[in-house]
Structure 1
Amino acid sequence: MGVTKPFPASVPLSSRAYIDRMDAGLTSVAGAQEIISMISSRRIVTKLILGHNELSDNGCIVLFKFLGSAIGRKYQITEISLNSNSIGNRGLLAISDYLQGNTVLKELFLQDNNFSEDPEVFITFIRALNASHLEVLSLTTNRNLSDPFAETFLPILETPHLRELHLSAIGLTPQSGSPLVAYISSPRCRLQTLKCNGNSLGFRAVKSIIRAIERHNFSLLTVELHANHLVGPVSSDNTSEEDGDEETGGPASPDAWKASETQIRRVLFRNSHLKRETEKEAIRLFRYARPLLLCSSKHANAPAPSTSTRCTDCSCSEIPSPNAPEPEPDTPASNRPPVEGIFPFHALPTELQLYTLSFLAPSLSPAQRSRIYNFASSPSTLPRLGLCLPSFSSNSRNTCVLDPASMPFGLNANTMSPGGGCAGGKCAGSKNSVLCHKEKQRGEWLAVVGCSAYDPYREGEGEGVGEAGILPETGGAV
């Protein structure tokens, strides 16, 4: 009787695009060439997990020279982890070259490497970061960075895409309190997570950071400042202008640290609440502004949308625009006869229309409402028309996973209509088990109109989102 061989362990589809070579003994150029061979043998690679190896500068340069080549750019790599690889400044420059203008890479982990103090290298890296779409950057446990890095890095950091910054255990002292406070207080800061654990900032600097968040920052939702007690005598720093705290002749008491932790939790809870209210009001305002303002702008001499559209990333059937008769172009909306029983909203001056709509979103600043009005009134932001194929097409990554508990007995996902999970409120993403595509589109739209955080600039001069591009798919995602 033969021995039955066990079935090989199945590899999840989600991990087939990952290259996980953590602690694999990869060394220098030979290790980089092995990684390049693995990448070249696959059609899709989205993540490189290469921590705890010894690629060093030479291996890092070879790897990122390949990733930056025409062949390497074909791989849509969204996450790279290179922690504990003995990478120095030459390797950091190679990473900067790859990061320059990169709109695909979202997460970069560079913990515990050998970066040393060099302002020119820091400036090159920061400029590349500002020109990228990186969302998560971790420099934790690079202790050689210290205060000179913070003094160079933070004043010129201005990327609007960065959401998480990890600066734990990099040797920061009270001297870094001023650049941290200045960055947090400026409109350049769009961070949602800031981690500065395990440094030596001291109580006064920590208190000043908390005060800066309370007064000037409404985007931060997670802030970690644990284990920042000073070692040795208290040094004089200029990070606080209205201190009056306990730290005048010695370290702060444990009760003072606990009070600061309570204060930061309260401030972050405020930011979280205001963020939810801002997003809710922005979506509500857009839902009403879209049909009202788009209808009002039809009489303008603007180019009409194309008669048909085709998706660029999937196979779909074109849908010609309906040949319904349009209103006469020479008849303004204000001169059309009102329909009996319906208030002629479009007959009002534009200023009164916008003022009336503003009551739907009292928490939004004038600048935020203005961006929503511009988006809602533009025909170019309407969702594209197309009959996309079901999940068998390449566009299947844009569909959500149905929650199995919500499916009727005997019914599988193939019999459900594409996207029906979101439409029916039965998407597994609502339970935080997977990423809901509709929620992702909603988040992208909120970022485009600058409503992903509360805007305290009530006079309407708050910093906007700059030249926000039009997202073709987000017009109907809200």
Structure 2
Amino acid sequence: MSRPPAPRVLLASRGYIDRMDAGLVSIRGAQEIISMISSRRSVTKLILGHNELNDDGGIVLFKFLSSAIGRTYLIAEISLNSNAMGNRTLAAISEYIRGNKALRELFLQNNYFTGDPDTWRSFTAALNASRIELLSLTTNNNLSDGFLQAFLPLLDSPHLREAHLSAIGLTAQSAPTLIEYISSPRCRLHTLKCNGNALGFRCVKSILRAIERHNFSLLTVEMYSNNLAAPSSSDNTSEDDDDDDTGGPASIDAWKASEALLRRLMLRNAHLKRQTEKEALCLLRYARPLLLFSSRSSVRCIDCSCIEVSTSGAPQVAPTAPERSPFRALPTELQLYIMSFLAPTLSPAQRIRIYTYASSHATLPRAGLCLPGRGHAIQSLCVLDPASMPFGMTPGGGGCAGGKCAGALNSVVCHKEQQRGDWLTVVGCSSYDPCRED
């Protein structure tokens, strides 16, 4: 009797463990998850929402993930919403994310976390040392203002781009903390969601005013359902308020005006971000040949054996200007001043970082001939959009044929776009800087 064919598993989902609403309970549920992880070569997503792991199961799970074996699994997304977890699990999560270079998204909605300051100070320190880009704490009703006052003043993550803080019991007392963070260079968020709290209309207006004056990185801000206004005397905001503000709920027209202002601010930030990134790339293109002096020193990769190639003859390097050109004869300060006209939107600090990057040989592309299998990682390829692939083409062949990038329009993941984004972050040009000093 022939065996029935094995069920087909999509290639993209083989690294996923999706056990949402699977009846996983406490330690036994955690052990079942650990068995599933251990039976696979790789796991990229762990979707465990709507179970009952609670603190006992959460601690067991994250102790495994923090172990030497668990660290070999490069999990990029973990979802633990609605699992009855409390601060004990949060402490175990802190140990796991500290120094973690793989995890990008962490969903912790609708659990039993409280605003204990020590717990959140430890978690924030671990978050700052991770590469998490998205953190969701939505509908953790027991957090309230005390959590925010322990969390935001210490938050200084260079990678966090999206924070979901909706329905966590925030009131107008959180206004100074929110405004201080939004107005500081520590805020690198692109998305901030604070829906379903009790901030009040005056607090929302003060936040908008802080964004207008000090923040140019936020591209999406949501503050819906915050019209449970307290008396105006309790709205302790650091920004000056308009004289026409009174206590109590605001009118519909006032909310519509605030929403219109928020849309304008987001459009402003998006435009300035695009202009900043465009000018930064343009400035690098011209600063590299003008500032990088030719050198006969050879370059060898430090992690593999490859052919030495002189940096002056490397095909990847833009041709350098003659050392005795009239431009080179000018004082350095005048050279930099002239080049600054190529990027008028950039701040002086941003231009200096690009000049420093462009004038360093250490930032040049490797000139050696690195062969696969000699200890050197193969260059990442684009991941093609299946809808754009020719009929009969298999997705396993990679998206960059003949050494040419497939491009952002025809690929789900474009490695050149990723490299540009990483470089813009390194030189601090991923958002507009209104001449702030570092």
d(CA) in 2 for partners of 1:209, 1:411: 51
**Which position in structure 2 is the counterpart of 1:320?**
308
Give CA deviations for 1:58-80 in whole Å, capped at 9, x if unaligned.
Answer: 11111111111111111111111
**Which position in structure 2 is the counterpart of 1:362?**
344
Q: Report SS of the residue matched to 2:59.
A: helix
Q: Report SS of the residue matched to 2:111.
A: coil
Q: Which runs of 5+ in 2 are unaligned?
A: 315-320
Q: Report SS of the residue matched to 2:412.
A: coil
1:444 to 413, 422, 429: 422
Q: CA deviation at 1:436?
A: 1.2
d(CA) in 1 for partners of 2:109, 2:311: 59
Give CA deviations for 1:152-182 in whole Å, capped at 9, x if unaligned.
Answer: 1111111221111110000111111110011
Aligned counterparts, 1:116-135, within 5 A: 116-135=114-133
1:376 aligned partner, one-letter code: A
**Counterpart check, 1:76 vs 2:88:** no
Q: Report SS of the residue matched to 2:267.
A: helix
Q: Report SS of the residue matched to 1:295.
A: coil
Aligned counterparts, 1:10-409, within 5 A: 10-230=8-228, 236-239=234-237, 241-244=239-242, 246-295=244-293, 298=295, 304-308=297-301, 318-322=306-310, 338=324, 343-384=325-366, 385-387=368-370, 395=378, 398-402=380-384
2:13 aligned partner, one-letter code: S
Counterparts in 2 of 1:405 and 1:345: CA distance versus 1, 3 Å: farther
Q: Which runs of 4+ in 1 moved over 6 A?
A: 2-5, 323-326, 404-417
2:409 to 414, 417, 430: 430
Asked if 1 retains the 8 angstrom alpha-carbon contact of 2:113 and 2:140, the reply is yes
**Which position in structure 2 is the counterpart of 1:462?**
437
d(CA) in 2 for partners of 1:386, 1:215: 50
Percent sequence identity over aligned pairs: 64
**Which position in structure 2 is the counterpart of 1:466?**
none
Q: Count matched residues.
A: 429
d(CA) in 1 for partners of 2:60, 2:387: 48
d(CA) in 2 for partners of 1:204, 1:48: 40
Asked if 2 retains the 8 angstrom alpha-carbon contact of 1:422 and 1:438, the reply is no
Q: Report SS of the residue matched to 1:144.
A: coil
Give CA deviations for 1:178-208 in whole Å, capped at 9, x if unaligned.
Answer: 1001100011111110000000100000000
Asked if 1 retains the 8 angstrom alpha-carbon contact of 2:171 and 2:198, the reply is yes
1:176 aligned partner, one-letter code: S
d(CA) in 2 for partners of 1:13, 1:413: 10
**Which position in structure 2 is the counterpart of 1:418?**
400
1:320 aligned partner, one-letter code: E
Q: Which runs of 5+ in 1 are unaligned?
A: 312-316, 327-332, 464-478
Q: CA deviation at 1:219?
A: 0.4
TM norm structure 1: 0.82
d(CA) in 1 for partners of 2:139, 2:118: 21
d(CA) in 1 for partners of 2:311, 2:277: 36
2:309 aligned partner, one-letter code: S
Q: CA deviation at 1:43?
A: 1.0
Q: CA deviation at 1:462?
A: 2.1
**Which position in structure 2 is the counterpart of 1:473?**
none
Give CA deviations for 1:365-416 in whole Å, capped at 9, x if unaligned.
Answer: 11111111111111111122345559xx9747x2113467877899888999
**Which position in structure 2 is the counterpart of 1:468?**
none
Counterparts in 2 of 1:256 and 1:231: CA distance versus 1, 3 Å: closer
d(CA) in 1 for partners of 2:396, 2:242: 65
1:439 aligned partner, one-letter code: E
d(CA) in 1 for partners of 2:394, 2:306: 29
Q: Report SS of the residue matched to 1:430.
A: coil
Asked if 1 retains the 8 angstrom alpha-carbon contact of 2:381 and 2:398, the reply is no
Asked if 1 retains the 8 angstrom alpha-carbon contact of 2:306 and 2:371, the reply is no
2:437 aligned partner, one-letter code: G
Q: Report SS of the residue matched to 1:319.
A: coil
TM norm structure 2: 0.89
d(CA) in 2 for partners of 1:404, 1:451: 32
Counterparts in 2 of 1:349 and 1:158: CA distance versus 1, 3 Å: same
Q: Report SS of the residue matched to 2:64.
A: helix
2:420 aligned partner, one-letter code: R
d(CA) in 2 for partners of 1:323, 1:90: 54
Q: Report SS of the residue matched to 2:159.
A: coil
d(CA) in 1 for partners of 2:287, 2:415: 24
Asked if 2 retains the 8 angstrom alpha-carbon contact of 1:88 and 1:114, the reply is yes
Asked if 1 retains the 8 angstrom alpha-carbon contact of 2:127 and 2:157, the reply is yes
d(CA) in 2 for partners of 1:254, 1:323: 64
1:185 aligned partner, one-letter code: S
d(CA) in 2 for partners of 1:189, 1:386: 41
1:356 aligned partner, one-letter code: I
**Which position in structure 1 is the counterpart of 2:318?**
none
Q: Report SS of the residue matched to 1:380.
A: helix
Q: CA RMSD in A?
A: 3.0
